[in-house]
Amino acid sequence: MNDMRLIERDSTMKDTKISARGVQVWYGDTHAIKDVSVEIADKTVTAFIGPSGCGKSTFLRCLNRMNDTIDVARVEGDIRIDGEDIYDRKVDPVQLRAKVGMVFQKPNPFPKSIYDNVAYGPKIHGLAKDRADLDGIVERALRRAALWEEVKDRLSAAGTGLSGGQQQRLCIARAVATEPEVLLMDEPCSALDPIATGQVEELIDELKENYSVVIVTHSMQQAARVSQKTAFFHLGDLVEYGETGQIFTNPQDRRTESYITGRIG
Ligand SMILES: Nc1ncnc2c1ncn2[C@@H]1O[C@H](COP(=O)(O)OP(=O)(O)OP(=O)(O)O)[C@@H](O)[C@H]1O
């Protein structure tokens, strides 16, 4: 009986991809993240939820050192990806961000062609040996982002000329083109209509076959639809973290319960 239970548990366990210990973030005097520790699994979608201003985006940005670009931000603690300290002085943040890709709230394609939007990252990171190789990378990334069929005949058209939902999928293609291992998504559907949202959510579900996906969302329905793990933040604290089903049906902390029942936030 015990053996059976062990086997059952093993089949649902995934390796840890990101391990954060005692993470604190300040913006000047504002203490935005307070001693957060969490293990994020590989090949899993993890949702960060919580009321506005609770620190979800701040913590997400710690995972690829995007906070480095904010002058007043100070990050403390230990964050490891595959056991490697990403804040170590020998880590190049540009290389790190190729490995830990990011998709933002508002689709932000470069003012370039669809092709060049996707080819840009692989070019600067020297991932293609020649033009044919680069063509292959661009096609694969656009296919992975479920956009290829819609754009294959107009790759030289401007990325900014696509619809909002297509632009967001283009940004996802751009992020996956550098073969990242982790994909961070900060409210990726908030500027999209329900149809485009559905397409991006479907895509997120497929992306988890290859990547560890972390998504910040204001929509609890979205967290419930796309994620396997959910972390609830409140006033800079990570209050509760667990299986998404458990967080939504049987939260252990009354603050989580208040949030998911709409009493706070
Ligand atoms: N660039 C910044 N400079 C100064 N303070 C900031 C900065 N970015 C965030 N903050 C502050 O840090 C705290 C956490 O903000 P953060 O954007 O991480 O929260 P959030 O949970 O993602 O919010 P939202 O859901 O509204 O996007 C807030 O008090 C916010 O005002």
> How many Å lie between the centroid of ligand 1 and the Cα of residue 153?
41
The backbone torsions φ and ψ at residue 179, rounded to the nearest 5 degrees and listed phi first, read 55, 55
The full length of the chain comes to: 265
- Complex confidence, ipTM: 0.97
β-pair partners for 26: 31, 74
Residue-range domain boundaries for the chain: 15-260
- Residue 7, pLDDT score: 44
Rg (CA), the chain: 19
Choose which CATH entry (3.40.50.300, 1.10.10.10, 2.30.110.10, 3.90.1280.10) describes domain 15-260: 3.40.50.300
pLDDT value of residue 11: 43
Residue 247 has pLDDT above 60, yes or no: yes
Q: What is the pLDDT of residues 97-148, one digit of tens each?
A: 989 999 999 899 999 999 999 999 999 989 999 999 999 999 999 998 889 9
Q: What is the DSSP letter of 155?
A: T
pLDDT at 265: 63
Q: Does residue 251 or residue 5 have the better pLDDT? A: 251
CA of 50 to the centre of ligand 1 (A): 12
Distance in Å, CA 217 to ligand 1 centroid: 14
Pocket of ligand 1 (CB under 6 A): 27, 30, 32, 50, 52-58, 70, 72
For 171-228, the pLDDT digits (tens) are: 999 999 998 999 999 999 988 888 889 988 998 998 899 899 999 999 999 999 999 9
pLDDT of residue 187: 94
Site to substitute for ligand 1 among 23, 24, 54, 239, most atoms within 8 A of C-beta: 54
Nearest CA to ligand 1 atom 8: 58
